[in-house]
Structure 1
Amino acid sequence: MAPDTKRSGAGLVETDLLRLATAGSVDDGKSTLVGRLLYDTKSVLADQMEAVERATQGGGDPDLSLLVDGLRSEREQGITIDVAYRYFATPRRSFVLADTPGHVQYTRNTVTGASTAQLAVLLVDARHGVVEQTRRHAAVMALLRVPRLVLAVNKIDLVDYDETTYLTIAKEFVEIAQSLGYGDSDDTAVVTIPVSAKVGDNVVVPSERTPWYDGPTLLDHLESVPVDGPDAAAPFRFPVQTVIRPRTAEYPDYRGYAGLVGAGTVRVGDPVVVLPDGQRTTIEGIDRFEGSVDSAVAGDSVVLRLADDLGVARGAVIAAADDAPEAVTEFSATLAWLHDKPLVPGRKLLVKHGTHTVQAMITAVLDRLDVQTLAREPDPDGLEINDIGHVAITVAEPLPLDDYDRVAATGSFLVIDPQAGDTLAAGMRA
């Protein structure tokens, strides 16, 4: 099989897909970089380019950032407000790009955009180097276990393509990434590239103006970096979304459990356990829209049929029988606090884990991350918006939580305001 294809659970050959996120401080040129990628890979329609050329102030070369910051309100404020998803493809790979906002008050949007990313591109302005927001974004990527980072040292043209400037920034960033756990066993985990998004240096085409740089362009790296599926190598986990009982003459006794395979692989005949109750059975069949299949992998939407008639409802987790998590009511976790309403320990909240929502209480805030020094501040009073902290949680019903390091799909959860219904935090069991 060619290296740029893969085989799905239904036996179909699909184009290789990379999910990536971008992040950077305001005015680092992130929107221009994304626009340059879209433009140079010929992923922009003619009428879109005509609109950009008309909107470019003062004429001259088109402002490629307008391909991303399409909303007038965003352009007037000079910042990108929400997560924008862009889709493009080359002959070697397809891409889903989550372009996240750069302003510090929108760090919560960065968490959203990076939550499913397999690689993150962080930008810095070559004139300013690594700043606090760079450290914050790197910490968020490490928190979410995004496996690979790329530092794009942008606007290299504005420092006269100076090698020393680039190497100083790259060295500082690699040290930060290593302190967050990157690069211990994978030399593709942290890559730095000098680029000029406006001019196009080393974005898609190698630049003659950086003869001292012999690494890949940004697109070359994105096309060739190994792609890891979501929890593909983890033990099998399947949060039940709904119970399927058609009750028709053709299928009088059909009972199936629909959902998305969160982690691992499941095959017909596999022994499984239904959590949190602990009932054991085997997989009798796996159904997809196009018909029955022998197996399914992480990311597949399927209906599972079990050999035994069990009382399985929405919110249950079907897991590998020989490697299942313990259902717990008390646990510690890392939270990225996303709401302007601060966290106060002891307040009643909701925790949404997979497809199940339970009452909960955060009983203590154990520490808070200082994004400037990456040190842990012990015993803070609470968490404010954009803070990252370690907390103790008690829930009203047992939850089958994995450690996030091991299985992200069932090691993550949301904290929700029970009155307003707002999402307050993204959580990962420590």
Structure 2
Amino acid sequence: MSTSEDKGLLRFLTCGSVDDGKSTLIGRLLHDSRAILADTLQAIERTSARRGMEAIDLSLLTDGLQAEREQGITIDVAYRYFSSGRRKFIIADAPGHEQYTRNMVTAASTADLAIILIDARRGVLTQTRRHAQLAAMLGIPQLVVAVNKMDLVDFAQPVFERIRDDFLAFAAGVGIGQARFVPMSALRGDMVVDRGEHLHWYDGPTLMEMLESAPAAVAPHAHPFRFPVQWVCRPQDAANPALHDYRGFMGRVEAGRIAVGDTVSVLPSGLSTTVRAIEIGGEALAHAGAEQSVALLLDDDIDVSRGDMIVAPGQAPQVLRQISADLCWLSDLPMDRVRTYLIRHTTREVRAKLVAIDHRLDVNTLERMPAERLVMNDIARVRFKLAHPVFADPYVQNRSTGAFVVIDDSTYNTVGAGMIVADADAAA
């Protein structure tokens, strides 16, 4: 592969059991790819020396919170950005403890790939299985299993092969698809960016080579057009009467493409019209695609408000007054079955009532358990009844239009994060 080839942005997540070396791995990736500024490197060298460490503690590059440094664990999601020359990366380092399940859900929501770390001395543990299952449930399309700390088992090939077989047996039982495996030592650097000198029996790619060559996630441009309206722009300028007729619908293209002259439909009315113009910062565009924030001007003067959605005709999402979803409860206050909550889906906010908790997922055994309430970090299949419809796709088809958050209407705190599942009975 040419070093000049740019594979585009890859968002990936590191997760696994506590003390599997996630922060050290990220530090090694940054250090060996020369993505650390000189002053940052000098600062962590000084911190390592003060702690009496003989080698630099690369985990300090991600453990940025004071509480993390004091406890020696990662307790929040740390994000880092770097480029290898072939590709740009955003790394999310998720904590390993069960009580921080919600942090992993947050980190996984935008990830294209997950690295599951396994300590070579301990093998596949409960937390390993939990994070692998959560990664699959959250729709992360690619999985890399990195068997770390091979230096502590004398770089033994049978140890790696036994862990690989154990993980594959677990994955087959719970429906996890294909995974790739790499033995490594994040502390010494073997098979992270460089091959090192101790794993001569492994002839596969290094972890960095896997990341650089990983196929991009399904392009959002390939999905049907989705444009949730965030703001209706009606300028008022007495000195410029021409602006009085200006009506631009502003928002972010969440999927698909749109061009001037295309026919579109507006939900919930279902009325159709034609795109007269596309603008960004006052500049006219011929077309726009996923992840661009633009203003659409339409040929016909139809009623469009914040929270409505402009879509491709014949390819509309479901219009739902009841949603079935996998929900992660984020609040330290339990979910109250008699309360009404707010659901924010794209730019639309509606009142919602919990209809049922179908089951709760035991994140340790992965069993589906009955539940009467949800507490922090619980993950459950739930059903909500909505006061007004939302325009949604199943999460597995479109993350942007398949996800929502639950809001406490008294405090306006975000208390839950949900992923809509296909439910033919829920359509309005």
TM over 0.5, shorter chain: yes
Name the residue aligned to 1:148: 142
Indicate yes or no: 2:126 matched with 1:137: no
Q: How far apart are residue 17 of structure 1 and its match?
A: 0.9
| Greater shift in the superposed pair: 206-215 or 157-166 | 206-215
Residues 147 and 160 of structure 2 are in contact (CA less than 8 Å); yes or no, is this contact kept in structure 1?
A: yes
Q: How far apart are residue 115 of structure 1 and its match?
A: 0.8
Within-5 A mapping of 1:14-413: 16-56=8-48, 57-183=51-177, 189-228=178-217, 231-248=220-237, 249=240, 251-289=243-281, 291-377=283-369, 379-413=370-404
Q: How far apart are residue 178 of structure 1 and its match?
A: 4.4
Measured in 1, the distance between the counterparts of 2:59 and 2:418 equals 33
Measured in 2, the distance between the counterparts of 1:4 and 1:321 equals 40
SS in 2 for 1:122: strand
The residue type equivalent to 1:426 in the other structure is: A
Q: How far apart are residue 343 of structure 1 and its match?
A: 2.5
Residues 349 and 416 of structure 1 are in contact (CA less than 8 Å); yes or no, is this contact kept in structure 2?
A: yes
Q: Deviations over 1:207-230 (max 9, x none)?
A: 331222111111111111111256
Residues 334 and 428 of structure 1 are in contact (CA less than 8 Å); yes or no, is this contact kept in structure 2?
A: yes
Q: CA distance change for structure 1 residues 246 and 180 in 2, over 3 Å: closer, same or farther?
A: farther
The residue type equivalent to 2:54 in the other structure is: G
| TM-score normalised per structure 2 | 0.91
Q: How far apart are residue 333 of structure 1 and its match?
A: 1.2
The residue type equivalent to 2:333 in the other structure is: K
Residues 346 and 364 of structure 1 are in contact (CA less than 8 Å); yes or no, is this contact kept in structure 2?
A: no
Q: Any gaps of 5 or more consecutive residues in structure 1?
A: 7-14, 184-188
Q: Deviations over 1:106-165 (max 9, x none)?
A: 111111111111111121211112222222222222222111111111111111112222
The residue type equivalent to 1:213 in the other structure is: Y
Measured in 2, the distance between the counterparts of 1:425 and 1:339 equals 7
The residue type equivalent to 1:334 in the other structure is: D
Q: Any gaps of 5 or more consecutive residues in structure 2?
A: 422-428
Task: State the Cα RMSD in Å.
Answer: 2.0
Residues 351 and 415 of structure 1 are in contact (CA less than 8 Å); yes or no, is this contact kept in structure 2?
A: yes
Measured in 1, the distance between the counterparts of 2:219 and 2:68 equals 32
The residue type equivalent to 2:194 in the other structure is: V
Measured in 1, the distance between the counterparts of 2:308 and 2:75 equals 36
Measured in 1, the distance between the counterparts of 2:281 and 2:163 equals 50
Name the residue aligned to 2:426: none
Q: How far apart are residue 323 of structure 1 and its match?
A: 0.8
Q: Deviations over 1:230-251 (max 9, x none)?
A: 6332211111111122344264
Q: Deviations over 1:267-314 (max 9, x none)?
A: 222222111222221222221237222222221111111121122111
Q: How far apart are residue 175 of structure 1 and its match?
A: 3.8
Shift >6 Å, 4+ stretches: 2-6
SS in 2 for 1:309: coil
Measured in 2, the distance between the counterparts of 1:360 and 1:110 equals 25
Name the residue aligned to 2:425: none
Measured in 2, the distance between the counterparts of 1:365 and 1:406 equals 23
Q: How far apart are residue 344 of structure 1 and its match?
A: 3.8
SS in 2 for 1:334: strand
Measured in 2, the distance between the counterparts of 1:329 and 1:3 equals 51
Measured in 1, the distance between the counterparts of 2:292 and 2:162 equals 44
Residues 261 and 297 of structure 1 are in contact (CA less than 8 Å); yes or no, is this contact kept in structure 2?
A: yes
SS in 1 for 2:222: coil
Q: How far apart are residue 376 of structure 1 and its match?
A: 2.3
Q: How far apart are residue 89 of structure 1 and its match?
A: 0.4
Residues 4 and 85 of structure 2 are in contact (CA less than 8 Å); yes or no, is this contact kept in structure 1?
A: no
Identity of aligned residues (%): 49
SS in 1 for 2:220: coil
SS in 2 for 1:232: helix
Measured in 1, the distance between the counterparts of 2:203 and 2:89 equals 25
SS in 2 for 1:240: strand
Measured in 2, the distance between the counterparts of 1:385 and 1:176 equals 27
Residues 148 and 186 of structure 2 are in contact (CA less than 8 Å); yes or no, is this contact kept in structure 1?
A: yes
| TM-score normalised per structure 1 | 0.91
Indicate yes or no: 2:416 matched with 1:422: no
Q: Deviations over 1:339-362 (max 9, x none)?
A: 222224332111110111111111
Q: CA distance change for structure 1 residues 20 and 130 in 2, over 3 Å: closer, same or farther?
A: same
How many residue pairs match? The answer is 415
Measured in 1, the distance between the counterparts of 2:168 and 2:260 equals 45
Q: How far apart are residue 179 of structure 1 and its match?
A: 4.6
